Amino acid sequence: MKKMSNIYESAANTLGIFNSPCLTKVELRVACRGISDRDALSKPDPCVILKMQSHGQWFEVDRTEVIRTCINPVFSKLFTVDFYFEEVQRLRFEVHDISSNHNGLKEADFLGGMECTLGQIVSQRKLSKSLLKHGNTAGKSSITVIAEELSGNDDYVELSFSARKLDDKDFFSKSDPFLEIFRVNDDATQQLVHRTEVVMNNLNPAWKTFKVSVNSLCSGDQDRRLKCIVWDWDSNGKHDFIGEFSSTFKEMRGAMEGRQVQWECINPKYKAKKKNYKNSGIVILNQCKIHKMHSFLDYIMGGCQIQFTVAIDFTASNGDPRNSCSLHYIHPYQPNEYLKALVAVGEICQDYDSDKMFPAFGFGARIPPEYKVVFFSFQVSHDFAINFNEDNPECAGIQGVVEAYQSCLPKLQLYGPTNIAPIIQKVAKSASEETNTKEASQYFILLILTDGVITDMADTREAIVHASHLPMSVIIVGVGNADFSDMQMLDGDDGILRSPKGEPVLRDIVQFVPFRNFKHASPAALAKSVLAEVPNQVVDYYNGKGIKPKCMSEYESSRTLAP
C-alpha cells in the first residue's frame, strides 16, 4: 500500500500543483485603409483571414465577410478568440481580393498581411500596422485591429428590421437599401456592430433577422447610444446616404412580445433645406428577442457534476509489465506515461465531482476466471472494471484509480485487439439515462488511454455519433510511439466525423492527442490541451437542448439584464 501511495504522490509531484488557466474571450474588429488591387482600374473586393500559429504551422481560424469594391473596408464580422496570459499566441491577418465569381483563395489576389501577437493587440487595445506583401510594405495600405474583452454577459439579441417609403436615390430603378448599426463608445467614436444585406430595388425592404451579442451591441449598457444609418447601395462602392436615426438597446427592447418600435429616418441636409421635409422613410423594428446564453460556470455553480471515467489499454502491444521497456512497467517512484496522463487530466476533473468516486475500466486483456464466469480459463474483455467489481467499478479519487491499476496488472494477461467502442457504449448508456432527468445534473467525460490504433474503427465511429447526442465528451490520449495518424479522424477538427452509414456527429465531442507531444513540455500542458474544449462542449450540449442550470445562483442572476 505504501508503494502505491508513493507512486500516486510521485505522479502528482511530477505534474506539480497547477490550476486550469483562466480563459478570457476577446473580440477582434478589423478595418483596412488604402488597400489597392493589382489592377489599378478597379477597386478590390477585400476579405480578411485570421490565422493562428501552432507548432510552427499557420491554421485558419476565421474570415470576415467580403466587401465589394472598397479600398477602406470596415468589416462587420468579428473574430472571437481565446486569450491566455501565459501563452504567446501568434496571429496573422491576411487581406485577399475575392472576386465576385468565387469565394475561394486559390484564384484570389493576396493584397498584404500583418503578423503580431494577441498580447500586443490586447495590451494596446488598438493596433495599427502597415500591410506587408512579400516582405515589403504594400503601398500605403494598413490594417487596424481593435480588441475588446467579452464581459461575463454572453447573452445575444435577435433583431428583425424593415422599412417603408424610403427615399428613392436611383434614376432608372428604386433604391437598393441596407442598414448599418453603430455603437457609440465612451470616447464618442463609433463602432460598427452589424451591416445588413442589400435588398435590391425596394423602397419597403424587410431585412433578414440577425443575431448579435449584447456585449457587442451596447457593451452591456442598455442606455448606450446606437446610431443607425440607411444607405442606397451602389456597385462602385460610393453608396448614397438615405437617412439616419439614433436609439438605445433599452428602446429596442420595446419590440419584445409582438410589439413594434419605429423611427423616422432623417437626412439632416434635407431637414435643414426643405421646409416641408418630414423624413426619408420609416424604419421598423419588428422583433427583439433576448436569448440567455448560460456559461460553463453557470452550469457548474448550478450543481452540474462532471462524471469522470477512465479506460486503460491492456493490449499485448504495451509489452510485459514486468519488463522495464513496457509502457505498463511500474517503477517504485517514477510514474509511467499512463499514470502521468491519468493524473494530469484526473486532477482537474475531480474538482468538479463532489463524491470523488471514479469508475475505472480496462480493455484488451484476458480476465482470470474468478472475476468473470465463463467456460474458458481466460476471457478477453473490452470493458472490465479494474477493481474487478463489476457491480461497483468506482475507485476513491485519482489515487484509488492508480492503486486499482497497479493491483490489477499482475492478474491480467495482456492480449487484444484494441476495441474502444464497448467502453464508449458503456459510458453512453449512463449518459443516456441522465437525459431522462431533463436537468443539467451530470455531464460525462471519458478518458481513454491507449498505446495503438484502434481495430474497431467502424463501431467506434458509430458509438461516437450516438454519444454526440448525449451529455458526454471523449478524450483519447495516445501513449507510446505508435503511428496515431488514423486516430486524428475521430477528432472533428479536420472535418465532420460520420458513422459508417453517413450520419454526422451532432457535436464535436472527441479530443485526441499523442502523449509524446508533451514529453518535453510541462505535464500541465497535456491537461490544458485535452480539456480545453470541454467547457464549450458542456455549454453547447445544454444550451442546444434548452436546458438551464439547475440552481440560479447569485453569480448567474448578476449576469441577467434588468427588464
Per-residue pLDDT reduced to its tens digit, 520-557 = 776 668 877 888 788 889 988 998 888 988 864 433 34
pLDDT at 479 exceeding the cut of 60:
yes
Residue 291 has pLDDT above 90, yes or no: no
What average pLDDT does the structure give for the chain?
85
Q: For 20-150, CATH number?
A: 2.60.40.150
Average pLDDT over residues 352-367: 90
Q: Which of 35-44, 211-220, 226-235, 332-341 is predicted with the least confidence, judged by mean pLDDT?
A: 35-44
β-partners of residue 266 are 244
Share of the chain above pLDDT 90, in %: 53
Each residue's pLDDT tens digit, 208-231: 999 898 988 998 889 999 999 999
pLDDT of residue 167: 94
407: how many CB neighbours lie within 10 A of its CB? 14
Does CATH place domain 301-354+415-545 in 3.40.50?
Answer: yes
Domain 156-291 has CATH 2.60.40.150: yes
Higher pLDDT, 161 or 545: 161
> CATH 2.60.40.150 in the chain, residues?
20-150, 156-291
Half-sphere exposure of 295 (CA within 13 A, CB side): 19
For the record, the C-alpha cell of 221 comes out as 449598457
Residue with cell 453569480: 555
Tell me where in the chain the CATH 3.40.50 domain(s) lie: 301-354+415-545
Strand ranges (E), 292-402:
305-313, 357-363, 365-367, 379-381, 384-385, 394-396
Convert the pLDDT of each residue in 113-145 to its tens digit: 999 988 888 877 789 999 998 877 767 899 999
Mean pLDDT for 309-335 is 92
Q: Is 492 helix (H, G, I), strand (E, B) or coil?
A: helix
Residue listed under C-alpha cell 447573452: 155
What is the mean pLDDT of the segment spanning 250-274? 93
517: left (phi over 0), alpha (psi -120 to 50) or beta: alpha
pLDDT digit string (tens) for 399-441?
Answer: 999 999 999 999 999 998 999 999 999 999 999 999 988 899 9
Predicted pLDDT of residue 3: 46
pLDDT attached to residue 404:
96
In DSSP terms, 205 is beta-bridged to none
Give the span between the Cα atoms of 563 and 556, in whole angstroms. 15
Model pLDDT, residue 246: 97
- Residue 155: predicted pLDDT: 82
Average pLDDT for residues 325-348, to the nearest whole number? Answer: 89
Judged by DSSP in three states, 478 sits in strand
Distance (Å, whole) CA 506 – CA 468: 5
- pLDDT attached to residue 524: 64
Q: How far is CA 377 from the centre of its chain?
A: 49
The string of DSSP letters for 230-273 reads EEE--TTS-PEEEEEEEEEHHHHGGG-TT--EEEE-B-HHHHHH
Q: Flag whether the pTM goes above 0.85.
A: no
Q: For residue 93, what is the enclosing H or E element?
A: strand 90-97
Own/partner pairs, 219-222, CB within 8 angstroms, 24+ separation: 219/151, 219/183, 219/185, 220/151, 220/153, 220/561, 221/249, 222/248, 222/249, 222/250, 222/253, 222/561, 222/562
Distances (CA, A) of 316 to 174, 245, 366, 515: 76, 73, 10, 19
